[in-house]
Amino acid sequence: MDCSNIQFQYVDFLETDQLNQLIGLFEAAAFWACERASEDMAIAIAHSHPVVIAWDSNELIGFARATSDGIYRATIWDVVIHPNYQGAGLGRKLVQTVLGHPHMSRIERVYLMTTRQQAFYKRIGFQENETTTMVLFHQEIEPVPDFTVVESGVASSKG
Ligand SMILES: CC(C)(COP(=O)(O)OP(=O)(O)OC[C@H]1O[C@@H](n2cnc3c(N)ncnc32)[C@H](O)[C@@H]1OP(=O)(O)O)[C@@H](O)C(=O)NCCC(=O)NCCS
C-alpha cells in the first residue's frame, strides 16, 4: 500500500463529522472503545494533550492521544490504525508523533495499557512493566464530609 500521502496532525478538538469518523474507526478496530459516544470522546479529547489524527485525504484512518503532567508521567491511550492501513508502519509513526510532541519530550516515564499488542509496542521501545497494575473502576463515591478547599490562595470550609 502507498502510504506516502498519509498526513499526521495534532488537534485540540474534532468537528462533528470528524468525531463521527473517529467513532467509526473505533467500531472497526478498537474493541475497548467500540461503544463510545462521540460526545464523550469530545470530552476525552478536550482533556488530552497531545491528540494525533492520521488522515488519508479526508478519511480519518488513525488516532492516538496522551494525558500528561508535562514532566514526570504520561499515559498513551486509544492507539488505532484502520484495519485497511495496518502493517505499513503507520502505527509506529502514530505513536512516535505522540512521543515527539513538545509536551511529551521531557517526560520521565510514559505508560500505556495493552492486552494484545505488547509485541508492537516493544518494537517501538516500550518494556514490560509489572509494577503498576491497580485500577479503580467508576463508582459513586460518597462526598467527603467537611473539608477545607483552597482556591486562588483563599481557604474556605466546604461541607
Ligand atoms: C496496534 C496497531 C496500532 C499497530 O499499527 P500498525 O500500523 O499495524 O503497526 P506498524 O506497521 O507501524 O508496526 C510497527 C512494527 O510493529 C510490528 N507489529 C505491529 N503489530 C504487531 C503485532 N500485533 N504483533 C507483532 N508485531 C507487530 C510490525 O511488524 C512492525 O515491526 P518492524 O519494527 O519490524 O517494522 C494496529 O494494529 C491497530 O490499530 N490495531 C487495533 C487496535 C489496537 O489493538 N491498538 C492498540 C491498543 S493498546
Ligand 1 lined by 75 (C-beta under 6 Å): no
Residue minimizing CA distance to atom 25 of ligand 1? 119
H-helix or E-strand containing 74?
strand 73-81
CA distance 21 to 61: 9
Q: Which atom of ligand 1 is nearest to the CA of 32?
A: 47
Which of 75, 95, 120, 121 to probe ligand 1 with, by most ligand atoms within 8 A of CB?
A: 120
Query: Which pLDDT value is given to residue 159?
Result: 45
Distances (CA, A) of 95 to 20, 21, 143: 22, 20, 38
Taking the alpha carbons at both ends of the chain, their separation in whole angstroms is 61
Query: Which pLDDT value is given to residue 73?
Result: 96
Query: Which pLDDT value is given to residue 156?
Result: 55
Ligand 1 lined by 150 (C-beta under 6 Å): no
Query: Which pLDDT value is given to residue 130?
Result: 85
Compute, in angstroms, the gap from residue 84 CA to the centroid of ligand 1.
13
H-helix or E-strand containing 93?
helix 90-100
pLDDT along the chain (159 residues), means of 10: 90 98 98 97 98 97 97 97 98 98 95 95 94 82 73 60
Task: With CA atoms as reference, report the closest residue to 104 among 68, 65, 64.
Answer: 68
Whole-model pTM: value is: 0.91
Contact between 82 and 61 (Cβ < 8 Å): yes
Residue minimizing CA distance to atom 22 of ligand 1? 120
Query: Which pLDDT value is given to residue 157?
Result: 53
Ligand 1 lined by 96 (C-beta under 6 Å): no
| Residue linked to cell 486562588 | 152
CA distance 18 to 11: 11
Query: Which pLDDT value is given to residue 145?
Result: 72
